């Protein structure tokens, strides 16, 4: 048995609870410090984590007893916090996206390479049984040669439920940079890296109304496009069509469908770890469900960080996150400039996740 890996957490907003539920009880992790610009949130978190101290952001990044920084800040701060951690010799695992600009993401990856530290990044949901079972089915030839995929995310917008939704509609936000990482990460898992994109984008309205919390009824400005569509050309020749929208109400489309020469797969929501994978063969008459055959069963946010700490090549690593970030920013650039954009990055498909029961990944890996 080895010593627990010591982490510090920067950012204790809405998503932090899901990470804490996974990481706080895990025997391989020791949360030694927490920091947030809102000191009361950091204090409250520290009081619930035995042995953890409340810290300033600067002190946490500098602390010699921290090995990895878990960066759960808003997207505009992702690159700055990551660079601060790397600058003090620490590994960093960041909530998606890697940065709010491609230049920022590239700077993080370059700095880590120079410093000899490691970068990981959400989403880790695609390591669950939903996406991984679909990947296993494709790799086994269940749909034959993959030809195309479609990915659809339609919602009226996060201001309905999030008490402080401003950053979703500021530069670095929008449906693509917020939700696109789930769908594009899944598409890379299923079909491999992207070589070029063509995009289009629109904005339904210029303001949004907060629907819950202490600011309910407040109107906020929309600074980004809120409906983005595009075509992704994969290295293997498959074409994926992607729609991400904060302007629709509902959809009956499967979150992801993969079409091959001999069948189609319906893939569950990549924002969740599990879900039913369905198959319709060329000679079939109806859909049928596939039993989970790969992935972290019962997965929850933070399992990607555990994988990152213990794998030689992390499945939720910086190379993939940078490629996903470039895919998204290239789609926005294509929409703005009106032409196809060839990507400069690539990423190997992460190694598949064997079917791993919850009791196994929740136990010590050291």
pLDDT, tens only, 184-214: 999 999 999 999 999 999 999 999 999 999 9
pLDDT at 2 (0 to 100): 58
| DSSP at 128 | B
- Give the model's pLDDT for residue 290: 98
What is the residue whose two structure tokens read 């994109």? Answer: 197
| Residue 3: per-residue pLDDT | 87
Report residue 204 CA to chain centroid gap: 25
245 contact partners, CB below 8 Å, separation of at least 6? 153, 154, 155, 175, 226, 227, 228
Instruction: Please measure the distance between the N-terminal and C-terminal CA atoms of the chain and give it in whole angstroms.
Output: 6
276-305 confidence digits (pLDDT tens): 999 999 999 999 999 999 999 999 999 999
* CA 99 to mean position of chain CA atoms: 12
Distance CA 204, CA 23 (A): 39
Question: Rounded to whole angstroms, how far apart are CA atoms 297 and 125?
Answer: 11
| Residue 333 CB coordination number (10 Å) | 15
Residues of the chain with pLDDT under 50: 1
Residues listed for the chain: 366
Q: Where are the beta strands (DSSP E) in the chain?
A: 5-10, 29-35, 53-54, 68-71, 91-94, 119-121, 146-154, 194-202, 207-209, 219-221, 227-234, 239-245, 256-260, 263-267, 277-281, 288-290, 341-342
- Pairing mode, if any, of strands 239-245 and 263-267? unpaired
Q: Residue 241 in contact with residue 247, Cβ under 8 Å?
A: no
């Amino acid at each position: 048995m080895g010593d627990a890996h010591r982490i510090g957490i920067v950012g204790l907003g809405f998503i932090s609870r899901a990470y804490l539920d996974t990481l706080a009880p895990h025997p391989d992790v020791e949360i030694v410090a927490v920091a947030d610009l809102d000191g009361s949130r950091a204090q409250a978190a520290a009081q619930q984590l035995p042995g953890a101290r409340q810290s300033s952001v600067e002190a946490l990044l500098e602390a010699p007893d921290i090995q990895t920084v878990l960066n759960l800040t808003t997207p505009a701060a992702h690159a700055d916090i990551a660079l601060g951690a790397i600058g003090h010799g620490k590994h960093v695992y960041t909530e998606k996206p890697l940065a709010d600009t491609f230049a920022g993401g590239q700077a993080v990856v370059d700095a880590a390479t120079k410093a000899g530290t490691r970068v990981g990044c959400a989403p880790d949901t695609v390591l669950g049984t939903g996406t991984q079972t679909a990947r296993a089915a494709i790799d086994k030839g269940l749909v034959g040669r993959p030809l195309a995929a479609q990915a659809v995310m339609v919602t009226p917008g996060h201001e309905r439920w999030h008490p402080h939704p401003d950053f979703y509609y500021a530069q670095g936000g929008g449906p693509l940079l917020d939700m696109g990482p789930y769908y594009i990460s899944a598409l890379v898992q299923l079909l491999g890296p992207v070589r070029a994109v063509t995009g289009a984008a629109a904005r339904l309205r210029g303001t949004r109304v907060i629907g819950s919390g202490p600011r309910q009824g407040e109107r906020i400005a929309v600074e980004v496009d809120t409906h983005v569509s595009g075509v992704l050309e994969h290295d293997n020749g498959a074409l994926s069509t992607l729609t991400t929208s904060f302007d629709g109400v509902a959809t009956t489309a499967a979150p992801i469908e993969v079409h091959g020469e001999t069948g189609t797969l319906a893939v569950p929501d990549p924002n969740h770890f599990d879900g039913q994978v369905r198959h319709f063969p060329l000679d079939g008459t109806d859909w049928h469900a596939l039993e989970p055959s790969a992935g972290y069963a019962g997965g929850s946010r933070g399992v990607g960080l555990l994988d990152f700490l213990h794998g030689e090549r992390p499945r939720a690593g910086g190379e993939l996150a940078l490629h996903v970030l470039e895919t998204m920013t290239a789609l926005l650039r294509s929409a703005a400039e009106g032409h196809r954009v060839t990507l400069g990055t690539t990423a190997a498909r992460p190694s598949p996740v064997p079917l791993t029961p919850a009791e196994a990944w929740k136990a010590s890996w050291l």
